[in-house]
Amino acid sequence: MSTVTTAFDRPTFSFELYPPRSAAAEEALLGSLEHLVNAGPEFISVTYGANGSSRSSSLAVLLRLLAETDVRAMAHLTCVGSSYAEATRLIREFLDAGVTSFLALRGDPPAGSVEGDAFLGDLGSAGELVQLIHRVQAEREQFSLNDVPGFPGAKRLSSGHKVTIAVAAFPNGHPRSRSVEQDLDTLLAKEAAGANLAITQLFFHADDYLRFVDQARSAGVTMRILPGIMPVLSPQRLRRIVELTDEKLPADLLAKLEAQSTPEGQAAVGIEHAIDLGNQVIGDDRPGLHLYTFNQHEAVIEVLRGTGLLSLTTEHN
Ligand code: FAD
């Protein structure tokens, strides 16, 4: 079996945010952001609308992270509907802003579209976007000359920061997948294209992730595969998430949430489930947790505390 990438000697954690859609949501996010940053994540990723709709609001959150914190900011980028030229411009814009970590996605084609439709753009897969990010970054490195401090007018080649390029992985299969092999081949192709990290779609049972990682290793995938976990705090949210992701509704979790008569009781059940899941998936060759935050800090901080990950960096008040 191939050597697995283990750049870290202990489990890491990271968070996903989405760009706020109103002034009130932005203010709420700022409050939560402070707590999330203080927890000391490896990185914070910010989602991106499949049709580019959130370009400026996603970038605004990333710029805030870059300007005001030491946390690595990871930009989700999607390419469905973009020409090569548009995708190249987008990557340059994010690199110019100082972003050096990306989650490269194809994004979902609009409902009713058929592969091959011209409006789906030039890039047919996340792997092609991975390659394009590497190419744009390499061209920039080749041609970018930086000022030399203390020597006005002098220029030197930039120092060559390597980009981190993450990709999506689907432990329970991509909704369009016909077989596990197809999911494994898709992930292998993404790594071959130059991805160096995978982040999974959310899942609700540890075995789904553990089995997938074993299969991916046997198939030759060597990059870290971070398990994506979301504390689900109400039955309504669970139903909505399952609808959005096309995952199977976890009947056991739904029953436990519905058995609670108060929002507090439901939240406690959701957090306990996420802690239990987290504890089962952290271990050898299991790199840590990527937590879907829903732009709120309380639940994910509880999950970090419950899994013992928070105390590895800084205790959080
Ligand atoms: P690829 O894996 O390259 O897929 C290319 C095309 O092939 C897709 O259009 C898909 O329909 C199809 N396909 C993919 N896998 C298979 C398979 N195994 N078998 C058959 N067909 C397949 N979406 C957003 O719009 N914005 C985001 O910020 C965003 N963040 C995400 C973060 C994570 C961690 C994950 C897991 C998903 C995220 N998504 C996001 C959703 C993602 O765009 C869709 O799941 C998309 O269908 C698949 O993603 P991909 O980018 O990995 O494309």
- The finding on whether 224 has its CB within 6 A of some atom of ligand 1 is no
Per-domain boundaries in the chain = 12-231+287-316
DSSP labels for 82-138?
Answer: --HHHHHHHHHHHHHTT--EEEEE--PPPTT--TT-GGG-S--SHHHHHHHHHHHHH
In this predicted structure, what is the pLDDT of residue 89? Answer: 96
Q: Ligand 1 centroid vs 197 CA: distance in angstroms?
A: 15
Assess whether the C-beta atom of 55 lies below 6 angstroms from ligand 1.
Answer: no
Q: CB of 76 closer than 6 A to ligand 1?
A: yes
Position 114 scores a pLDDT of 87
Instruction: Give the three-class secondary structure for 13.
Output: strand
**Tokens coding 204:** 């609700």
Please list the pLDDT of the chain residue by residue as tens digits (317 residues).
445 555 567 889 999 999 999 999 999 999 999 999 999 999 999 999 987 889 999 999 999 999 999 999 999 999 999 999 999 999 999 999 999 999 999 999 988 898 888 889 999 999 999 999 999 998 887 666 566 566 666 655 554 557 899 999 999 999 989 999 999 999 999 999 999 999 999 999 999 999 999 999 999 999 999 999 999 999 999 999 999 999 999 999 999 999 999 999 999 999 999 999 999 999 766 689 999 999 999 999 999 999 999 875 555 54
ipTM for the predicted complex comes to 0.92
Q: Does domain 12-231+287-316 match CATH 3.40.630.30?
A: no
